[in-house]
A and B are shown apart, each in its own frame.
Chain A
Amino acid sequence: MRSDRNQKTPLGLKIAAGLGLIFLHAPILLIFVYAFTTEEKSYQWPPPGLTTQWFAVTWNRPDVWEALSLSVRVAAISTAIAVVLGTLCAAAVSRSKFFGRETVSLLVILPIALPGIITGIALRSAFALTDIPFSFWTIILGHATFCVVVVYNNAVARFRRTSGSMIEASMDLGADGFQTFRYVILPNIATALLAGGMLAFALSFDEVIVTTFTAGQQQTLPIWMLEELIRPRQRPVTNVVAMVVVLVTLLPILLAYYLTRDGDQIAGSGK
């Protein structure tokens, strides 16, 4: 037993940490209350009354459904691309040492290390220089680029824990490369890939800064919300959408956490 673990927590520290956690969570909880308010024109607190009618109103709004559908399609395709690219890159970086290895890992991390606006304006300049018109695919081009890193991070951590001798054993027992991949490597990294994929999905589903530069006239759900924030048209609908977005992003994050919690707590570290 290390001597440093059996001390009483100072009260001041407890209070400061508790207040910090309240600061982190109270605003998100507030969203849930506002989704039920009867007030339409302002952000009045406390809500004058509670109602569930805005859920029905939101359900019948075609523009919300269109934005949601676009966001889901973009996130699904971007995630698929990111899973393939991120896994390949992680496999290459973790199984061998080669010239330029550091450069490759830097290359993967760069799109998320630089502020989103740089990625956005850089893509925007590239589209302007090459005369590529904005479309569904330009959004995906941007999203897939910054989603690679989360899959990569999760996969690299898992590869590090997967012993190389298992692969050698599989080969010694007569499996060819593809069989080894299918029956030895894939089952080992599957949960890490799933976790990375879910985080990539959540990241893409929520992204707004890069998207404003690559989307043209199309509205993903975050862009729809941004429009509502700048020029509010129907506040109650925005409240409901905000609540739904919180719930939709919460699930993949919790799942990703449970898939990777033993051993490496990599899943969410660093967006």
Chain B
Amino acid sequence: MSMAANQYRTAPAILPAASGIRGVLSDAFWRKPKLLLFLMLLPPVLWLGVVYVGSLFALLLQSFFSIDEYSGLINREFTLKTYGDLLQAANLDIILRTVTMAAAVTLASIVVAFPIAYYAARYAQGRWKALFYLAVMLPLWSSYLVKVYAWKLILAKEGILTWLLAKLNLLWLLDGWLSLPIVGGNSLSVSFTGTFIVFVYVWLPFMILPMQAALERVPGNLIEASSDLGASPRQTFWNVLLPLALPGIVAGSIFTFSLTLGDYIIPQIIGTSRLFIGQAVYSQQGTAGNIPLAAAFAVVPIVIMGIYLWMAKRMGAFDAL
């Protein structure tokens, strides 16, 4: 018995102080967790703070500079002249066009996304559910440019859509639509309709995912209770389902709205020659060399999104993200 006690005694109650630089560091982190926390936060905060927030400040700063019209050089003095230029009628047109497009794209995404999200949330189970998830995730992550390119192939005059409509004897419909003012054009790939379709396509998964998350949380019993109490499916949809799904819809609309506001590649490749905000930013900083005006243009989506996010927050959209 005493032998056994002796064996236990050989292990010291307190370990010897750790040795070497590794031990010292390890002990220091244990005694001062704040130090470890500080060291862990330092690199990412430094990177994002300097590179990203610093750049945003540079952007804001640039928008208060102006360009000398004769020499083309940037005059680094505080002025509101660039914002004055931004408010010219032509530029306001660009802003209005972009916001209208963003709103239309958002509405259409809601309509197209809803059946997919609702089916996935309420009816798909097990294997099917995983399949649905992947079916939304894969287009979301596949290459943006390839997706735009695919639509260039589809919407081209000699492309598959025209072929399909010809087979269905529906070409008159396409021609009729293209002859309309504003939304029409020579072919779908050089019309606002084309731009609109591609925007909806590219941002659709961003709407489906939060919408599905919100719909998952709607108890099915509520829907049944509603019909038990005599509501028609239509009434149930408008008075029960939609209000409960609203936070998810608003969360999704943040993406579709913001992404449409900032995109400059889709309208450049599929669309008319009339500019969107993103294209204006790009051409001002590139060919025109007017970084201050480009910066001022870029502030517009930030302000619009700021207002949008503030309203979304009041509607409880962030709980659904």
Contacts and interface: CB of A to CB of B under 8 A. Distances in A.
Interface string A82-104: 00111011011001101000001
A9 B119 contact: yes
B219 to A, nearest CB: 6
Interface string B132-170: 011111111111111111111110101110010000000
A137 to B, nearest CB: 11
Given A13-B119, A45-B163, A178-B22, A28 B220 contact: no
Nearest to B36: A177
Given A2-B221, A115-B262, A242-B146, A124 B285 contact: yes
Contacts of A174: 15
B121 to A, nearest CB: 11
Interface in B97-124: 112-113, 115-116, 118-120, 122-123
B78 interface: no
A128 B62 contact: yes
A50 interface: no
Interface string A245-270: 11001100110010001000100111
Contacts of B174: none
Interface in B258-298: 258-259, 261-265, 268-269, 278, 281-282, 285, 291, 294-295, 298
B291 A125 contact: yes
Given A4-B220, A117-B282, A27 B33 contact: no
A45 B281 contact: no
A119 B259 CA distance: 12
A125 B133 CA distance: 39
Interface stretch (B1-9, B83-91, B203-211): B203-211
Contact of A115 (B56, B160, B258): B258
Interface string A200-230: 0010001011001100000000100110011
Given A25-B135, A30-B160, A229-B145, A13 B115 contact: yes
Contacts of A270: 206, 209, 321
Contacts of B29: 177
Interface residues of B, number: 100
Interface stretch (B42-50, B176-184, B242-250): B42-50
A4 B158 contact: no
Interface of A: 2-5, 7, 9, 13-14, 16-17, 20-21, 23-25, 27-28, 30-31, 34, 42-46, 81, 84-86, 88-89, 91-92, 95-96, 98, 104, 107-108, 110-111, 113-119, 121-126, 128-130, 141, 144-145, 148, 171, 174, 176-178, 199, 202, 206, 208-209, 212-213, 222, 225-226, 229-230, 238, 242, 245-246, 249-250, 253-254, 257, 261, 265, 268-271
Given A88-B43, A125-B61, A242-B150, 4 more contacts: A14-B119, A23-B112, A43-B159, A238-B149
17 contacts: A14-B119, A16-B116, A24-B201, A27-B150, A31-B149, A34-B153, A42-B156, A43-B156, A44-B159, A81-B47, A141-B51, A148-B48, A177-B36, A209-B264, A222-B143, A257-B137, A271-B206
Interface of B: 15, 18, 22-23, 25-27, 29-30, 33, 36-37, 40-41, 43-45, 47-49, 51-56, 58-59, 61-62, 74, 112-113, 115-116, 118-120, 122-123, 125, 130, 133-154, 156, 158-160, 163, 201, 204-206, 209, 219-221, 223-224, 258-259, 261-265, 268-269, 278, 281-282, 285, 291, 294-295, 298, 301-302, 305, 321
